[in-house]
Amino acid sequence: MSEPLLAVDDLSLAYGEVPALRHVSLSVGRGESLVIVGESGSGKSSLGLAVMRLLPRTARITSGAIRFRGRDGAITELAAADAASLQRLRGREIGMIFQEPMTSLNPVYRIGEQIIEALRTHEVLPRAAARERAAALLAHLGVPEAARRMEAFPHELSGGLRQRVMIAIALVCNPSLLIADEPTTALDVTIQAQILELLKRLCRERGMALLFITHHLGVAREVAQRILVLYAGRVVEVGPAAAVIARPLHPYTRALLQSVPRLGANKNQTILPAIGGAVPDSAHLPPGCAFAPRCPAFVPGLCDRAPPPLSAFGTERSVRCFRAWELAS
Amino acid sequence: MLDYLAGRFGQLLLVLFGVSVVVFVTMHLLPGDVATLLLGDRATAASLARLRHQLGLDQPVIVQYWRFLAGALSGDFGTSLRDNRPAFGEVLAAFPVTLELTLSALLLAVTIGVPLGVVAALKEGTWIDTAITTPTLFGVSMPVFWLGLMALLLFSEKLGWLPVGGMMPIGIHMARPTGLSIVDAALSGRAALVWQAVLHLILPAATLATIPLALITRITRGEMLASMHLEYVRTARAKGLPEGRVIRAHILRNALIPVLTVIGLQLGLLLSGAVLTETIFSLPGLGRLMVDAILARDYPVVQAGAVFVATVFVLVNLGVDLCYAVLDPRIRRQ
Ligand SMILES: Nc1ncnc2c1ncn2[C@@H]1O[C@H](COP(=O)(O)OP(=O)(O)O)[C@@H](O)[C@H]1O
Ligand code: SF4
Ligand SMILES: [Mg+2]
Parallel, antiparallel, or unpaired: how do β-strands A75-77 and A59-69 relate?
A: antiparallel
Segment among A236-240, B53-57, B203-207, B276-280 with least mean pLDDT: B53-57
Better pLDDT: A161 or B8: A161
| pLDDT tens profile A55-72 | 998 999 999 999 999 999
Segment among B41-45, B121-125, B289-293 with least mean pLDDT: B41-45
Residue A217 predicted with pLDDT over 70? yes
Closest in A52, A122, A153 to B238, CB measured? A52
Describe the strand order of the beta sheet including A94-97 as a list of residue ranges: A94-97, A177-181, A209-214, A33-37, A226-231, A234-240, A317-319, A311-313
Per-residue pLDDT at A270: 47
| B239 neighbourhood in chain A, CB within 8 Å | 90-91, 117-118, 121, 169
Q: What is the distance in A from the centroid of ligand 3 to the CA of A49?
A: 10
Distance of residue B314 Cα from the nearest chain A Cα, in angstroms: 26
pLDDT band at B214 (very low <50, low <70, confident <90, very high): very high
Q: How far apart are CA B288 and CA B279, in angstroms?
A: 6
Residue B203 predicted with pLDDT over 60? yes
Q: How many CB pairs under 8 A join A and B?
A: 72
Orientation angle between helical segments B299-327 and B286-295, nearest 10 degrees: 150
The verdict on a CB contact (< 8 Å) between A98 and B253 is no
The rounded mean pLDDT for chain A is 90
Domains of chain B: 16-73 (no CATH), 92-333 (1.10.3720.10)
Per-residue pLDDT at A261: 47
pLDDT band at B257 (very low <50, low <70, confident <90, very high): confident
Q: How far apart are CA A24 and CA A239, in angstroms?
A: 15
Terminal Cα-to-Cα distance of chain A (whole angstroms): 28
In a 13 Å sphere around the CA of A299, the CA atoms on its Cβ side amount to: 10
- State what percent of residues in chain A have pLDDT above 70: 95
Among the listed residues A186, A207, A156, the one whose alpha carbon sits nearest the alpha carbon of residue A30? A207
Give the residue on A whose Cα is nearest the Cα of B227. A106
- State what percent of residues in chain B have pLDDT above 90: 22
Among the listed residues B206, B229, B212, B220, the one whose alpha carbon sits nearest the alpha carbon of residue B280? B206
Closest in A92, A108, A169 to B329, CB measured? A108
Q: Do A37 and A230 meet the contact criterion of CB atoms below 8 Å apart?
A: yes
The verdict on a CB contact (< 8 Å) between B235 and A121 is no
Test site for ligand 2: of A250, A252, A295, most ligand atoms within 8 A of the Cβ: A295
- List the residue whose alpha carbon is closest to atom 6 of ligand 2: A321
| pLDDT tens profile B321-333 | 788 777 787 776 5
Burial B127-149 (b: 16+ CB within 10 A, else e): eebeebbeebeebeeeebeebbe
pLDDT band at A260 (very low <50, low <70, confident <90, very high): low
The verdict on a CB contact (< 8 Å) between B329 and A153 is yes
Centre a 10 Å sphere on the Cβ of residue A66 and count the other Cβ atoms it contains: 23
Pocket of ligand 1 from Cβ distances under 6 Å: A 15, 20, 38, 40-46, 56, 58, 282
Per-residue pLDDT at B267: 78
| B257 neighbourhood in chain A, CB within 8 Å | 108
The verdict on a CB contact (< 8 Å) between A104 and B327 is no
Please identify among residues 254-283 of chain B the ones whose CB lies closer than 8 Å to any CB of chain A: 254, 257
Describe the strand order of the beta sheet including A59-69 as a list of residue ranges: A18-28, A6-15, A59-69, A75-77
The verdict on a CB contact (< 8 Å) between B237 and A95 is no
Distance of residue A89 Cα from the nearest chain B Cα, in angstroms: 7
Q: How far apart are CA A49 and CA A29, in angstroms?
A: 19
Segment among A2-11, A189-198, B168-177, B300-309 with least mean pLDDT: B168-177
> DSSP H helical segments within B229-285, as ranges?
231-238, 243-245, 253-280
- The pLDDT of A11-24, averaged and rounded, is 95
Parallel, antiparallel, or unpaired: how do β-strands A18-28 and A6-15 relate?
A: antiparallel
- The pLDDT of A246-256, averaged and rounded, is 93
Residue A223 predicted with pLDDT over 50? yes
- The pLDDT of B147-155, averaged and rounded, is 80
Segment among A42-51, B29-38, B203-212 with least mean pLDDT: B29-38
| A95 neighbourhood in chain B, CB within 8 Å | 238
DSSP string of A169-227, one letter each residue: HHHTT--SEEEEESTTTTS-HHHHHHHHHHHHHHHHHHT-EEEEEES-HHHHHHH-SEE
Centre a 10 Å sphere on the Cβ of residue B21 and count the other Cβ atoms it contains: 13
Per-residue pLDDT at A1: 46
Q: How far apart are CA A21 and CA B278, in angstroms?
A: 64
Q: How far apart are CA A306 and CA B249, in angstroms?
A: 51
> Residue A280, by phi and psi: left (phi above 0), alpha (psi -120 to 50) or beta?
beta
Per-residue pLDDT at B316: 82
Query: Does residue B123 sit at the A interface (CB-CB below 8 Å)?
Result: no
| A52 neighbourhood in chain B, CB within 8 Å | 238
Q: What is the distance in A from the centroid of ligand 3 to the CA of A28?
A: 20
Closest in B235, B241, B257 to A121, CB measured? B241
Better pLDDT: A200 or A272: A200
Q: Do B142 and B211 meet the contact criterion of CB atoms below 8 Å apart?
A: yes
C-alpha separations of B299 from A61, B271, B286 in Å: 73, 20, 15
Among the listed residues A182, A105, A121, the one whose alpha carbon sits nearest the alpha carbon of residue B232? A105
Per-residue pLDDT at B158: 79
The rounded mean pLDDT for chain B is 83
- The pLDDT of A119-129, averaged and rounded, is 94
Per-residue pLDDT at B66: 85
Q: How far apart are CA B329 and CA B251, in angstroms?
A: 16
Terminal Cα-to-Cα distance of chain B (whole angstroms): 9
Closest in A87, A89, A103 to B242, CB measured? A87
Q: Which atom of ligand 1 is nearest to the CA of A215?
A: 22
pLDDT band at A123 (very low <50, low <70, confident <90, very high): very high
Give the residue on A whose Cα is nearest the Cα of B329. A108
Query: Does residue B237 sit at the A interface (CB-CB below 8 Å)?
Result: yes
Q: How far apart are CA B274 and CA B254, in angstroms?
A: 31
The verdict on a CB contact (< 8 Å) between B254 and A88 is no
Secondary structure letter of residue A76 according to DSSP: E
Per-residue pLDDT at B332: 61
Per-residue pLDDT at A274: 57
